Structure 1
Amino acid sequence: MNSGQHLRRYMTSATAILVGGIVSAALIGPSPAAAADLPDLQVTIAVTPAKATYAVGDAVTTTFTIKNVGGATAVNARIEGGDEDGLDRRTDPPSAHQDLAPGQSFSIDWAGTIDQSASVAGRASGSWAATNDAGEANPGDNTGRFNIAVPGVTGVLHVKVYVDINGQSDDTQPGLVGATIVIQDDGRTKTVATVTTGAGGYFSATLPAGDYWLTAPGWKLKGSEYAGHVQVKGGRTSEATLPLVAGSNSGGGTQTTAPADPIPAASSSSPAAPGGTGGGESALPVTGVGAGPAILAGAAAILVGAAVVFVARRRRNRFVLPK
């Protein structure tokens, strides 16, 4: 091996070590001592007036509170950016900023109106992050979120339930017939409907637009803490699959309450797949004797919500504020 090859090998090794060190430092983050000398911003968002549910056209105010819980002054603390759905904002995002000593906070108000897209999703929601110019001890708590219920147009939830025998979450596996499925509200405090799967392991239910949780008594849901979470959109048929594994825990993992910022499970707006039967005790319409009845059950909801869906089909609002 000549000297040039030695040099190239040395430079390659040195580069690898340097890159690895940078990546490791980024993953590890600041040491406890360093973190104690940095600001630590926390963001909360309150919606007023505070109500259990809202309607299209309601005027609301989102109040962003930025607090420095760190050990150093936050310089030029401000809202950095965010995204939201369901609110019509007639003004630009708030650009107020100020220095915050440890323990200090300040609040920013931003007015908006509930728009038509919120009735399709069954909610208005958003997340906003704060930043400052003096570093950050814990970036993980720099984001605040809000999520308010906006009951509106109904939609159809069409789900295939199956036992994940091959462990691949492959929904081409045979459906589970005769399984009892409990549909709960987003807070998991109320049972909205109880249904029974029919042929092919399918069930369909007509529900108000919004987020729901599915459980299967006597079975364990396959997946993360969000297993069983579905979203129904007004005027549409939302499809999902529910893989089960043996076990007595009816929730995903050890989850017993809804996560603060739920992630929608696999669902889409499309015609229902070949379905089964629905049943159980429910005050809401439940269907499922084939694809035809499933579609008919939601036809009225889809027709009523068609205009609303057309109005609401737009990208999620995203904002990035200048420094």
Structure 2
Amino acid sequence: METLETTKLDLTGKIDVVENISREDFLEFYMKPQKPVIIKHLYGKDAQVYKWTFDYFQKELGELEVGVFDDESETRQDDRSYKKAPMTMKFGEYLQIIQEKPTSKRLFLFNVFKHKKELLNHFKFPNIADNVLSFLPFAFFGGQGAETRIHRDMDNSCVFLTEIAGYKRVVLFDPKYSKLLYQYPYSTHTSIDVNHPDFDKYPGLAHVQGIDCTIGPGDTIFMPSGWWHHIEYNTAGLGFAIRSLSPHYKDRVVGILQVGLKTHIDDLANKILGSKWFDWKKNKTIERANRAIQKLQKK
């Protein structure tokens, strides 16, 4: 058992890297057991999608107004989802910024395909999984140093995140660690800092193990339903994600409850109770984590 003298999270978990995986093998070894994996050239080495560049988007969609998130100018709300970008700018201007210097400015859950539908013809999701939501892809753009704080996806879907340009650091945690990661009730977020964990404030972190990996051009990382993920842009980067439903119905029910009920209760309680609601949630995360620690110590 680790002690609280630990200064870094245990990120020694392993992840497989495969290429040309068959449907049968993917379903058996990764989808059904809900195990992460990195797949090289999922769409085939010659797919047009791997030829996307910043210059291409600047030329084709440079005048488009886009919503931009920026940690440097945002008031961070650790228990809240970022549902609306705090600023807008021309897409071309944004692309110039992220290529010129490190910046925390980022785009995520950006439906670039709505503005240029022919991009959907540049790739076809291979027949390796069922219930793929190929009609709902999202693009992600960010500058070197931009981060997506650790969270679980609210809809609880599985995610195939493909990197087209640049490199991303991806840190994953199994959902079995949710209580030890201090997940807020009615939320899919936590206040922990992956790079600077506070083991005195969050002692449960001494009992989790994560996976630390990097994806680059042509890599697709499969993140199963409910897995926690923290993402950093090691360089300016662009990528996109396709989602699929979990093969396990309990995961789908969790997603329905989170999207259809819990987030609305959270919004309403936050409006009515304000800081009292957040204080209650913070206390509840600590209670849950302490009980989880006690169970581990009894073992």
**Greater share of strand:** 1
Which bin holds the TM-score, normalised by the shorter protein? under 0.3
User: What TM-score do the two structures reach when normalised by structure 1?
Assistant: 0.22
User: What TM-score do the two structures reach when normalised by structure 2?
Assistant: 0.23
Structure whose CA Rg is larger: 1
**Greater share of helix:** 2
